[in-house]
Amino acid sequence: MNWDYLFRKYTSSLRSLPDFLIVGAQKAGTTSLLYYLSQHPDVYVSPRKEINYFNLEVHRPLSEYRHYFPLKIQRLFHKNLKAGEATPDYMIYSQVPEAIAKVLPDVKIIMLLRNPADRVFSHYGHNLMMKREWLSLEDALKYEDVRTGKDYIDIYKCKKDAIKNYSNYNYKARGLYYEQVEWFLQHIDKSNLLILQSEEFFKNTLPSVNETLRFLGLTAVKSLNAEPQNQQQAKVEKNESIRNELIRFYEPYNEKLFALIAKRFDWK
């Protein structure tokens, strides 16, 4: 019997809600960032990563979300405490930002954005490792819209299996960051959104983590255990023809993203 789960469940009404959400992107370093933040004495992270409340469970009572976060009394004795969770799928459904804003109007949103062409290969490798992909990458991209039913995904109307199916096989759609950032900016203040470049995050981890801590209103750290997390995936050869095609596909969307966030990433 999981006593921690039972204790959390029966004290959910006494618990607070999160101060920050790491919403994506998938395969861009969200697990690592959450782990690094958890090393700070003023950060409380959910015991479960990828709670998926706002995309899969939003119809369920809020108490079922609260039980992942600290007791309100803990904040009385730890006034700087910042609680959060990471669910990369929060980025990919247009209704999620509004759902978040209704429950957490002042929440801080953190995004890690990776070169979308490279992210596709990682996503595909992850699916191979999880044994839920049987097509070649070329065919997986070719039939993406057929498999995901992109135009019909609505978190309030679709069955959970359809939502999960979209999440699993939306290789190219996940990299359309411009529209995803726009969805959030329609419902949260720009000052509550932090966007980090994934490649820079892994290259200069400590400065990136400290930038995130300052964004959360916390003091910087001088060191951390920066071992990358959740790096397992099946090895996928980076077919240069497919990669170049993806680079061309994403180029206009990336340019719109850079204009929107007034920041340019070196994605080639």
The closest of 66, 41, 12 to 216, measured between CA atoms, is 41
Asked whether 3 and 155 are in contact (CB, 8 A), the reply is no
Q: Which range among 75-79, 168-172, 201-205, 255-259 shows the weakest confidence by mean pLDDT?
A: 75-79
Q: In the prediction, which pLDDT does 164 show?
A: 87
Q: pLDDT value at position 153?
A: 76
- If 0-12 CB within 10 Å is exposed, 13-18 middle and 19+ buried, where does residue 183 land? middle
Task: Give the pLDDT score at 171.
Answer: 97
Token pair 């789960």: residue: 5
Roughly what angle, to the nearest 10 degrees, separates helices 205-215 and 30-38? 70
Question: 73-87, 151-165, 252-266 — which is least confidently predicted?
Answer: 151-165
Amino acid at 40: H
Mean pLDDT of 5-28: 93
Mean model confidence pLDDT for the chain: 93
Q: What is the mean pLDDT of residues 207-225?
A: 95
Backbone angles phi, psi at 196, to 5 degrees: -115, 145
Say yes or no to pLDDT of 1 above 80: no
Question: Is residue 260 predicted with pLDDT exceeding 90?
Answer: yes
Mean pLDDT score, 145-166? 83
Task: Output Rg (C-alpha) for the chain, integer angstroms.
Answer: 19
Kindly give, in sequence order, each residue whose CB lies less than 8 Å from that of residue 62, ignoring residues fewer than 6 positions away. 103
Across 218-245, b (16+ Cβ under 10 Å) vs e yields beeeeebeeeeeeeebeebeeeeebeee
**pTM across the whole model:** 0.95
Q: How far lies 118's CA from each of 49, 173, 207, 218, 257, in Å?
A: 23, 13, 23, 32, 17
Angle at 128 between CA 268 and CA 227, to 5 degrees: 65
Structure tokens at 26: 């998938």
Q: 131 in helix, strand or coil?
A: coil
Q: How confident is the model at residue 208 (pLDDT cuts 50, 70, 90)?
A: very high
Other CB atoms closer than 10 Å to residue 200's CB: what's the count?
Answer: 15
Q: Is a pLDDT exceeding 80 seen at residue 229?
A: no
Band of residue 232 on the pLDDT scale cut at 50, 70, 90 = low
Q: Which domains does the chain have, with CATH numbers?
A: 3-261 (3.40.50.300)
Q: Would you state the structure tokens that stand for residue 220, as one six-digit string? A: 């910087």
Pick the closest to residue 176 from 98, 252, 99 (CA basis): 252
pLDDT class of 9 with cuts at 50, 70, 90: confident
What is the C-alpha separation between 223 and 206, in angstroms, rounded?
7
* CB burial of residue 4 (10 Å; 0-12, 13-18, 19+): exposed
